[in-house]
Structure 1
């Protein structure tokens, strides 16, 4: 049995879902992989809790859910006010896990790699803006830098592109990568206007209080940029052409339906070209997804069209992608 020390950054919904998986499936990971995971630190926006002997995740979940912040924790746990970069350098861990929304996290991802630590992340902006630098550092150090949950949550499109198409040349990817816009466009088909559909999505917790990242196409643009980096060569989000759904009208939706089609926010990824915009897709086609599903059509020279479809959002689904990366990293470090 090999002990693997984890340092977890982010203890919001995804971080807590990940903790529940580590608690609930610990025995399976021991039996299947010979790995004993020990979380030695957890950070939220209020504090860093650090215990080299390992944190009781059940107690951590209870504190966070009852008090809302880790800084409320006492008992035998030391509570620190480290910045993420300070925590990465100070805390002895094998794998650094980032499930935050920190847009500047690439700085402490690089610090972790330079300190000999693997990284597993669901955080999109570091890769959408700094993919080349991060991957170069990971390769130089021969360390895993893994990011399955950045695109399509736990549906393994990243693994497919990184490992599954070794002999193929990818020619194009078309994908629907944002579930919030899919929900809004679906509700507009039922007669709501954009504002009404957005309010309903917010009331159900599908859209954020500030929905701009979704409805302006930024989230899908981040994901499409990452896919381009994998399938072709590194670019940044600044190279992408992104248009969201805020200008879509009920009339646009109605006209599409009359033609036997439906509107979705579609990412088009070709060599040197990343575009995200509302497009009509056939009702019986793979991109006419519903609810929280995502779908991608990958066109290659050998396979032709390959469709990958599955959950693109959700707490357990995102945790699935992160846990898979943690296990991959642990088996290598």
Structure 2
């Protein structure tokens, strides 16, 4: 049985969902892959809990959910005040799992790769701004750098581009990549105002307390940038055009509906050109998704048109992508 040591950074909603799946599927990972995961450290904004013998994830979840912060955990665990870079350097581990929103995380991702640790992340900005440096460093070191959950949650669009369509040349991608805006626009079609739809999305945990990244198109722009890096060549978020849904009026939504169309926040991706913005799509289009669904329509030289559709938001859905990458990375590290 191969033991793989994990350091988890971020213990918010996605981090806790990831921990729950590691617990639930512990026997599956042993039986199916011969893998045992030992979590040596967990970091949240209050500090880092570190135990060389391994952390009890049940206890970690209880502490976080009852007290809201890991620093409240004082019994058998010491809480350290370490920066992410210090934690990466000082704590033993095979694999860094980054489920934070830290825009500067690329720096400690690089540090992890330099010292021989693989990285799994759901964090989009490091890749949207530093894709080349990170993937080249990982390749040079022979280490996994995996990021399925950065785009379309656990729906495996990254794996499709990175590992499956290796003989195809991608011609274009059109995609709806942000579940929050899909939810808001779907509600507006039912007569709910933008403001009320946004409040509902926040109550349901679909939208963040600060929803600007979603409604201004930034989140979809990050994801579109990552898809371009995979399908064509590395670019950065600074090179793309982004417009959100904040100025989409109820009248525009109603007019679109009368004409048998629907407005969605669509990313258009071709080689050297990426744009994100609200666009009318026919009701029968694969892009006319509802609720929090995402969809991507890829055109390739060999397959023609390929549609991939699935959950684009949700805690277990995002954790699905993270955990799949943890398993994949562990198998690579162990040479399976």
Query: Could you state the TM-score of these two structures normalised by the residue count of structure 2?
Result: 0.98
1:59-208 matches, cutoff 5 A: 59-208=59-208
Where does structure 1 lack aligned partners over 5 or more consecutive residues? none
Distance 2:79 2:128 in 1: 32
Check conservation: 2:181, 2:215, Cα contact below 8 A: yes
Helix, strand or coil: the match of 1:278? strand
Query: Which deviations, in whole Å up to 9, do the C-alpha atoms of 1:14-52 show, x marking residues without a partner?
Result: 100000001111011000000010000000000100011
Distance 2:50 2:74 in 1: 12
Distance 1:292 1:22 in 2: 25
1:153, distance to aligned residue in structure 2 (A) = 0.5
Helix, strand or coil: the match of 2:97? strand
Check conservation: 2:206, 2:314, Cα contact below 8 A: no
Residue equivalent to 2:300: 300
> After TM superposition, what 4+ stretches of structure 1 lie above 6 angstroms from structure 2?
none
Distance 1:163 1:205 in 2: 32
Residue equivalent to 1:40: 40
1:207, distance to aligned residue in structure 2 (A) = 1.6
Residue equivalent to 2:242: 242
1:197, distance to aligned residue in structure 2 (A) = 2.0
Of residues 191-200 and 15-24 in structure 1, the stretch that sits farther from structure 2 once superposed is 191-200
Helix, strand or coil: the match of 1:284? coil
CA RMSD of aligned residues (A): 0.8
Query: Which deviations, in whole Å up to 9, do the C-alpha atoms of 1:218-239 show, x marking residues without a partner?
Result: 0000000000000000000001
Distance 1:170 1:184 in 2: 31
Helix, strand or coil: the match of 1:268? strand
1:189, distance to aligned residue in structure 2 (A) = 1.0
Residue equivalent to 2:270: 270
Helix, strand or coil: the match of 2:187? helix
Query: Which deviations, in whole Å up to 9, do the C-alpha atoms of 1:268-318 show, x marking residues without a partner?
Result: 010001100000111111011111211000100110000000111111111
Residue equivalent to 1:288: 288
Helix, strand or coil: the match of 2:202? helix
Query: Which deviations, in whole Å up to 9, do the C-alpha atoms of 1:79-109 show, x marking residues without a partner?
Result: 1000000000001100100000000000000
Residue equivalent to 2:255: 255
**1:17 paired to 2:17:** yes
Residue equivalent to 2:29: 29
Aligned residues: 333
Query: Could you state the TM-score of these two structures normalised by the residue count of structure 1?
Result: 0.99
Residue equivalent to 1:322: 322
Residue equivalent to 1:226: 226
1:76, distance to aligned residue in structure 2 (A) = 2.0
Check conservation: 2:206, 2:313, Cα contact below 8 A: no
Distance 2:217 2:156 in 1: 22
Distance 1:201 1:227 in 2: 26
1:205, distance to aligned residue in structure 2 (A) = 2.5
